[in-house]
Structure 1
């Protein structure tokens, strides 16, 4: 049962946004200043046009009218120059802020406890790293600058209208109550609706990803109809969420548009009466009406981008929420003085109240090869993850030389114990870059030796550009077996004293896997190795074998001891080998 990652509260979102504004205070101030100056220059147009109207009515000389026209043209040119500079500054600032947000988010994601990631599932995390980041990108790059500019322009335009004709500008207040009521109604409901929408997308993404990744299993078990029903259900949920946000927009947008069109009509009618009563001039009415027409654009942009801001703040809440995941370890700064690993009365559960390990105790002898075997779902991989320090125990402890694994910094932990699973990833970049992840200072000779130790040097040398060949998505194709060899070569370079191999050679054919394991034997000499496998030849070659059943270690001993014992392991060996256990060991 997956659980979603936490979402930041509105105060936490405001705090995060406040920190960003504080960090970029100087460039933000410069940008706003340029926008204010550009907006201020744009206000000269209606005022000068009003003066020109009054001048024509009063019979002012054409020279004065020409001077006013030339002044108006100068203001327009100056406004264009400042607007371009302001927009450029806004875009650069938006890119910098977004880059900082993205890097911070990636750092937080990479620091998430693996146990939390596994519980949350891939859908929620993928949705936050793709859809939410994309939405946040649009908000930071465009919505925030546009809203700030529109707000400043609106305030300045209203101020200019009051200066141009105080009595005439009174008509502008007609639309305020309607705009206030509509906006208040919308904002009260928007956050919850957009969070619902983003969460429904995350669920849908997760379902589709799981279905695509497991398409062979779906086909083999004839589960196509079940998965289609699941996807249809998620689509209905996403549709309902999308319909909710659309409804909010369909109510708010018309209300807002009506609210900022009404002042134009009201000002014109009110101004006509003032002129007839001798309380205002035609030029004043013309200037204020032009200001009311001019204010429509910034208010319209403010309304439009405010809706986009709701999407962005919802995405920011989900992005910031990743930082709320509690750490599953508390480094103490202690360093182990030895290499022996001891698990004592270990219990673990993925779901509260349902332990999958029931008080397991195990001592790993430095330099030994321990094989863990048993039926699927018995708890082998879970125990392996605990021995590698991936998960903290629910109860009991796993220690290296008396120091709990969860007390070690992650960098230090990986120098002690490394887990290698059947899951692997080849990053976009050169083969050298992929290998150097484990040892950034490694020389080419060391990289080649690592490849050679896992039987990968032959195909690596055959690549078009050797170690400089670009692999990964869009690069030179690398098969599953080769990708697994790259993962194993990284481990050789990392050089930990203890390895936990969870089906690490499962993607290789049995003969190739057997050859690789024999090659690794020389490389892993002197290291402690815990091998989790269904291929029992691994158990045959191990120093000891631990049989895991129903969350317990039911048997522990050498291959020959357990075969002679005639219990669970002997039956597994007989089933796998195809003849009686005693005969197969002779």
Structure 2
């Protein structure tokens, strides 16, 4: 099985640039969050400092006897200060997390919207080559991973950064030699982090890609379930899903192994630092001739408590970096999609162009000049499914495309609708083009929302206009069956529509959208004989007064059009009116005779 061509992934510099650009207008909130984190970290150090003072007070009281005459602060003041500092640190911490979460969720919402927008604009063949699972994985798993990191890790990183800086300053005030221990030991953490950053990014990128492969295999099997069961391919598809799932597990196990090695190094660095602080404190307290050192016991106690205070945040931040690496890989995959541009959007290869992408000044004319198309644009010309095709459709003209299956009719429709870019040649079509295929999708919305999905201005669409469109396409019987009229929910979980009703709904959407060009790609093929007549009338209403390209599955539809183009193997072999082609006795005449006999 050929591996899917994955969607692009942004590099680190581009990912950072996008993240910084997304913070534009929100950097004030980021600064507020940092200030709150710094204040909370400062209050966190009050308790260790007070405990050190208590130790000194107890030592002085012991030296002076029971009365001693020594002055020391009452215990209730210390207790009140500890409570106040703890409550203040907690409040500031909560406020900092809330501000950061609000900021990051807004940022994530913006990224998610851009991801969906880029995905909807992405050429269909690019999605097909990469596999829909890759795109869905980025829109779900990767977004969730980034959401967790932005809302939890970033506030924790900010708080830990200020905790370390303030602790270092506090220990320097107590004794510069104690602060020197941290400065000397920090390279151990840096060495551990460097090792991790060399190992983790590629591993997490591979893990996220494995998620995409698994989603692709699972979705392709589920979507083609009837075919899988009909051809007894369950074992083969199960094996593919199992293999891709094992790849996910393999990368996950490797990630857990690296995490374990990483945390072992972190714990060893902390153990060495704690041992050094205790040893230096012991020496400094007892370095005098009478055993009274240059540093008080309370100061050493404060230093040790300071150090123990940063152990939790420091270990936590090193663990959060692991989450951050996974999130960075996910963010790079998201930015890779948002940065994607459809091939040919800046001119394309070999002069390929689509004037409809740059505007046609309201002209409803369709023009194709020497257009060729291949689903593998980088392949040889032999891979083309359309060959040097030229075609003109005048404004208001109805053109039918007929031919055997695989002749290229639906490909022409997809090019005109902008679903695919042309490989070579020039194509010009109105920007406001609507394609109606035989697979009419019903959204899980109300009937009103389903009808207005293609409207250029939702505020201008009134219920009166919707009812008029329903009446013109003869869909009034559908509305009459709905319990809540235009407000009836449709789709999964709502009111079920038959295939014919769904096609009728799609044709009614055309009137609401009011496009210049309508493309009907066998839009009534699934109707069945009982509904054929009413859907033909609906398609007539949808194309009336507009330029139309009709891919007909019944030749009676083609005969009603102004001109007919007969396609074979990606080329137009005949073109003309119904009467002209019948009189010519060519390929269309043969199709017409065969169809007339079969009726």
**TM-score, shorter chain, exceeding 0.5:** yes
Q: Alpha-carbon deviations, 1:202-225, whole Å to 9, x = none?
A: 121122111111111222233223
CA deviation map 1:349-370 (0-9, x unaligned): 1102221111011222443332
State the shift of 1:97 in Å: 2.1
What is residue 346 of structure 1 aligned with on the other side?
371
* 2:208 is aligned with 1:193: no
Equivalent residue number for residue 554 of structure 2 = 535
Cα gap change, 1:522 to 1:293, in 2 (>3 Å): closer
Q: Give the structure 2 partner of residue 246 of structure 1.
A: 256
Q: What is residue 14 of structure 1 aligned with on the other side? A: 16
Displacement of 1:181 after TM fit?
Answer: 1.8
Q: Which runs of 5+ in 2 are unaligned?
A: 62-69, 288-292, 347-354
1:507 aligns with 2:536: no
> Which residue is 1:313 aligned to?
328
Distance across 2 between alignment mates of 1:50 and 1:121: 62
Listed as ranges, the matches of 1:180-579 within 5 Å are: 180-277=190-287, 278-327=293-342, 328-329=344-345, 335-336=360-361, 338-351=363-376, 352=378, 353=380, 354-399=383-428, 405=429, 413-414=431-432, 417-439=433-455, 440=458, 441-559=460-578, 561-563=580-582, 565=584, 567-573=586-592, 579=598
CA contact (8 A) 1:341 1:364 kept: yes
| Aligned residue runs from structure 1 range 19-34, under 5 A | 19-34=21-36
Q: Which residue of the other structure, out of 56, 59, 64, is the alignment partner of 2:58? A: 56
1:528-561 residue CA offsets vs partner (Å, 9 max, x unmatched): 3222243344334333332222111123334455
Distance 1:156 1:392 in 2: 58
**Larger displacement relative to structure 2 (336-345 or 138-147):** 336-345
Aligned counterparts of 2:491 and 2:268: Cα–Cα separation in 1: 54
Give, in angstroms, the shift of residue 566 of structure 1. Answer: 5.1
2 CA distance for matches of 1:394 and 1:136? 37
Give, in whole Å, the separation in 1 of the partners of 2:118 and 2:542: 35
The 8 Å contact of residues 400 and 552 in structure 2, kept in 1 or not, is answered as yes
Counterparts of 1:80-229 in structure 2 under 5 Å? 80-173=90-183, 175-229=185-239
Change in 2 beyond 3 A, CA 1:423/1:72: same
| Distance verdict in 2 for CA 1:528–1:180, change over 3 Å | same
Whether the 8 Å CA contact 2:473–2:541 is kept in 1: the answer is no
Q: CA deviation at 1:512?
A: 0.9
1:470 partner SS: coil
Q: Which moved more, 1:329-338 or 1:234-243?
A: 329-338
User: Is the contact between residue 169 and residue 267 of structure 1 (CA under 8 Å) also seen in structure 2?
Assistant: no
Q: What SS does the corresponding residue of 1:101 show, helix, strand or coil?
A: helix
Runs of 4+ in 1 over 6 A off after TM superposition: none
Separation of aligned partners in 2, 1:177 and 1:71: 35
CA contact (8 A) 1:346 1:361 kept: yes
* Deviation sequence 1:238-281 (CA, Å, 0-9, x none): 23332332232122122112222332233223322322212322
Paired residue secondary structure (2:427): strand
Verify the 8 A CA contact 1:357 1:551 in the aligned structure 2. yes
Counterpart of 1:438 in 2: which secondary structure?
Answer: coil
Task: Please give the residue correspondences for 1:70-81 in structure 2 after superposition, counting only pairs within 5 Å.
Answer: 70-81=80-91
Name which of structure 1's ranges 382-391 and 33-42 shifts more when overlaid on structure 2: 382-391
Counterparts of 2:426 and 2:451, CA distance in 1:
33
Q: Is the 8 A contact 2:359 2:431 kept in 1?
A: no
Aligned equivalents of 2:404, 2:254: Cα separation in 1: 48
Contact 1:124 1:199 survives alignment (8 Å): yes
Residue segments in structure 1 that go unaligned for 5+ positions in a row: 400-404, 406-411
Stretch moving more, 60-69 or 101-110: 60-69
CA distance, structure 2, for counterparts of residue 243 and residue 554 of structure 1? 59
Separation in 1, partners of 2:159, 2:197 = 20
- Quick one: distance in 1 between partners of 2:16 and 2:472? 53
Deviating more after overlay: 332-341 vs 16-25: 332-341
Q: How many residues align?
A: 567
Q: Secondary structure, in 3 states, of the residue corresponding to 2:465?
A: helix
1:168 and 1:284 in contact (8 A); partners too: no
The alpha-carbon deviation at position 571 of structure 1 amounts to 4.8
CA contact (8 A) 2:403 2:567 kept: yes
Q: Aligned in 2, Cα 1:67/1:421: closer, same or farther, shift over 3 Å? A: same
Does the aligned pair in 1 maintain the 2:373–2:386 contact within 8 Å? yes
Cα deviation digits, residues 82-113 of structure 1 (max 9, x gap): 22322322222222222222223333333334
Q: Retained in 2: the 8 A contact 1:450–1:493?
A: yes
Distance, in Å, in 2 between the alignment partners of 1:500 and 1:424 is 13
1:442, distance to aligned residue in structure 2 (A) = 1.7
Once the two structures are TM-superposed, the CA of residue 4 in structure 1 deviates from its matched residue by: 2.2
Per-residue Cα deviation, 1:564-584 (whole angstroms, up to 9, x for no partner): 5555445545555555xxxx7
Question: 1:447 Cα deviation (Å)?
Answer: 0.6
SS at structure 1 position matched to 2:519: strand
